[in-house]
A and B are shown apart, each in its own frame.
Chain A
Amino acid sequence: MTVEGNRRSNCIELDHVTKSYGQIQALGDLSFVIPVGGRYALLGPNGAGKSTTLKLLVGSLRPDSGDVRILGSHPESREAKAVVGYLPEDALPYRMLSVRENLEYIGALRGVEGLKDRVDYLLDELDLRQYERSNVGRLSRGNTQKLAIALALIHSPKVLLLDEPLNYLDIPTQEKVISMLDTLEGTHLVSTHIMSIANRLTDSVVMISKGAVLWEGTIEGLRKKGSPEEPIEKVVARMMTGAF
């Protein structure tokens, strides 16, 4: 396949990316590719560089070296931003706006057609209807997280980047969000340090540690790295600690 052909079939590309915060190196020569339509978990221990990777993919950070692409475009480009939906970790939508105003504002910025219907749909799906007139500053952490998920989904993104999406959610809501994400098309990259979440939301894994790829492949392949009776979490833990 040509380079151009690769670009078209690849959705997310990181090529020898490095990123440091002062003296602290967050990513050291990180490279991986996620194909269009892929459902990947970005798995790693705390401080592995998962959030930094997602921030590079949404253009909030710039790599010190290397190249980052979303559907062939630089993350800071209008083209890339138009197709990406991003849920940051510990998301904080506009505190001075109500839930509905947040959704309408972001929807308007993104030029969502049929915005009112879309907002109503998300309010109902995520059980936010009763809070639609409440200011975000008054919401519980769980409801704030639900709103942040709705904001990431409002434009039906082709590329969904989720950083610890189930944080703060109760179990029924977690199940609802998982079902909702299951029905969505597009490419998903879910950053998490919890294997069970990766297992529910994705079918493939990019495991990183200390800013570099440790292992990548399907969850099935990951399972096969251990014995049949061994929980997958144990396998992952051994791999992350380098005990393999």
Chain B
Amino acid sequence: MARTLITMPKTAKRGELIEIRTLIAHPMETGYRHADDGSVQPRNLIRRLTCRYFDGRDDVEVFSAELFPAIAANPYVSFFTVATASGSLRFSWQGDNGFAQTESVELTVT
């Protein structure tokens, strides 16, 4: 389990725009680097981040990011979403070597 840091408001008004900032600990090894002995350090990347908004009725993907080796280590991705109803936002990271992690954050919308 990689360390993650998700920062977003706990509460919002209906229709309000909220900013979501995500950080995850991951080397994002490009597959282009060589060790001192000349061998290639194997590629090991997070390939995809998705954010699904589940409000008890709908379960909608509100944001996605396809990531490539040019994304820096410990990927930081921030974006916006509209607070529609109370529920949970589910963040899923998927990557090489079967990397899969999901974090869920509650949002109360009044």
**A and B assemble together:** no
Q: Which residues of B contact A (CB under 8 A)?
A: none
